[in-house]
Structure 1
Amino acid sequence: MTRSELLSLPASVDIVTAGRALGVGRTTAYALARSGEFPVAVIRAGKAYRVVTADLLRVLHITPENTNGVVVAPTTPSSEHVTQTA
């Protein structure tokens, strides 16, 4: 997946899409999710597996940019909002 495709994903994605972003196939993605070894937190909703896109982007080290080329660093509860120029 390209950077722009990743940034245009909805708030959560299915396990196949998350696996594709990480470069693993469908079968491997499901096997990792079932074993608890998927590299991103997986949410189980009935029979479906979902991944929060923000967590996926964080694991891939992809940060959104605004139109001025300013990279907005992800915030954590213990850090302040920081911006960097690209």
Structure 2
Amino acid sequence: MTAPAPTPLTFREIFDLPVSVDLRTAARAFGMCLGTAYRLIALGTFPCPTLRVGHRHRVLTTDLLRALGVDERPVFADEIADGAALTLFD
């Protein structure tokens, strides 16, 4: 029995990521399962650079965003309504 396909990250989830993420999260951002991510790393063809930390792989969020083609963080309407984005325009 195969595992269900991972649900890709939403734009909001992507923009709320910390400085680095685990491989599972990065794989979700690309819409791939963890097994595929490990195979691509072994082949040297994962869509963005990974960092080996002990036995685990981490991905810098800036590299992840760049690989996804995201140049800047959008401002969401509810953030403006909440006042969270006001510092961007001051």
After TM superposition, the score normalised by the length of structure 2 is 0.69
Long gaps (5+) in structure 1 = 71-86
- Moved beyond 6 Å, runs of 4+: none
TM-score by length of 1: 0.72
Say which one has the larger Rg.
2
- Tell me if 1:12 matches 2:20: yes
Percent of paired sites with the same residue = 42
Matches within 5 A, 1:1-86: 1-62=9-70, 63-66=72-75, 67=85
Count matched residues: 69
Structure 2 regions of 5+ residues with no counterpart? 1-8, 76-84
More strand by share: 1
Tell me which protein shows more helix as a share of its residues: 2
